[in-house]
Amino acid sequence: MGYSWIYIKSESDQWTVGFYGPQDRFYRDSDHECREEAAKRCAYLNGEYWADDLRQAMFDIQTLEKRIADLQRTVNEMRSHHSLA
């Protein structure tokens, strides 16, 4: 069974990342001075970075496919003009 990584305010100026395992024992991963850094670490540990990477990769693929189509049109136009000359 997998556990979700969470962050808790462990001290007045510290956020701790970890998860609750069997028998509600807290397993600590790291400590952070600000909540945002703790949240980023949780997102990473929970696999959210994969979603961002996948979205970026899909965008990059679509951009490249459009560029390839543009280049193919340009090549075809150049061939057509060359054969007419």
Q: Scanning the structure block, which residue is given the tokens 């956020």?
A: 15
pLDDT value of position 85 = 56
The token pair at 24 is 């509600």
pLDDT value of position 82 = 80
- What lies within 8 Å, CB to CB, of 19 at 6+ separation is 3, 4, 5, 6, 26, 27, 29
- Hey, where are the domains in the chain? 1-46, 50-85
- For 36-83, the pLDDT digits (tens) are 999 999 998 998 776 677 778 888 899 999 999 999 999 999 988 887
- For 1-48, the pLDDT digits (tens) are 578 999 999 999 999 999 999 899 999 999 999 999 999 999 989 987
